[in-house]
Amino acid sequence: MRFLALFLLLLAGGFTVVSLNWVNDRAIEPFTGWVARASGAALNLLGQEVRMEGTVIRSDRFAVNIRNGCNAVETLLIFGAAVLAFPASWRARLLGLAAGAALIQLVNLVRVVALFLTGAYLPRFFDASHTVVWQTLVVLCGVLLWVLWADRVALRRTAPG
């Protein structure tokens, strides 16, 4: 019960903080710009010849605007609240946060690239892929990463020796 109460408190606090206009303007929007630039660079490495216009990734075939909700911040908040609420050492929590955040952003980068390619080459699948498939996969990835991390931390705490 303590874990659940702390998780919900941290989750509510995190979502409250990121909903503040000054946090959005000074942290979330610049972070979203970084997600767009990283995705554009990955697409260029894949030969897509995209141009960046702020948070818009554009080619001759397709354009997509990376906005809040496309930056995996919600998944990071869920994962972070779960890690911080879990009874573990601060070292394990900080390592879990760092590794999990990096992996979540890697999955999100794959998501944005895949969605751009879907929009460019299979546009009829873009909406379903965007709203159903990839949003679900990114959140599930965050949950799975937490389960794996928590299992590893719990095993380490109960191991003899």
Per-residue model confidence as pLDDT tens digits over 85-136: 999 999 999 999 999 999 999 999 999 999 999 999 999 999 999 999 999 9
SS3 (DSSP) at 161: coil
The boundaries of the domain holding residue 87 are: 2-158
Q: Which helix (H) or strand (E) holds 95?
A: helix 90-121
Q: Helices 90-121 and 135-158, interaxial angle, to 10°?
A: 160
Residue position matching structure tokens 């946090």: 23
Confidence label for 157 from pLDDT (cuts 50, 70 and 90): low
Categorize the per-residue pLDDT at 11 as very low, low, confident or very high, splitting at 50, 70 and 90: very high
> In the structure, what pLDDT confidence band is assigned to residue 161 with cuts at 50, 70 and 90?
low
How many other C-beta atoms can be found within 10 angstroms of the C-beta atom of residue 97?
16
- Residue 69: the pLDDT is 87
pLDDT of residue 154: 74
Cα(147)–Cα(97) distance, rounded to whole angstroms? 13
Residue 155 in this model has a pLDDT that exceeds 80: no
Given a contact cutoff of 8 angstroms between Cβ atoms, the answer to whether 117 and 64 are in contact is no
- Report the candidate in 92, 109, 86 with the shortest Cα–Cα distance to residue 7: 86
**Predicted confidence band at 151 (pLDDT cuts at 50, 70, 90)?**
very high
Residue 71 corresponds to which tokens in the numbers above?
A: 């930056």
Query: Closest Cα partner for 151 from 141, 159, 139?
Result: 159
- Across residues 2-18, what is the average pLDDT? 96
CA–CA gap between residue 107 and residue 95 (Å, rounded): 18
> What CA dihedral angle connects 49, 51, 55 and 56, to 10 degrees?
-80
Condensed to tens digits (0 to 9), the pLDDT of residues 22-69 reads: 999 999 999 999 999 999 999 999 999 999 999 999 999 999 999 988
The predicted structure's pLDDT at residue 27: 95
As for how many domains the chain has, the answer is 1
Taking residues 65-87, report their average pLDDT. Answer: 95
Q: Which residue has the tokens 């159903």?
A: 132
Question: Rounded to an integer, what distance in angstroms lies between the CA atom of residue 73 and that of residue 91?
Answer: 23
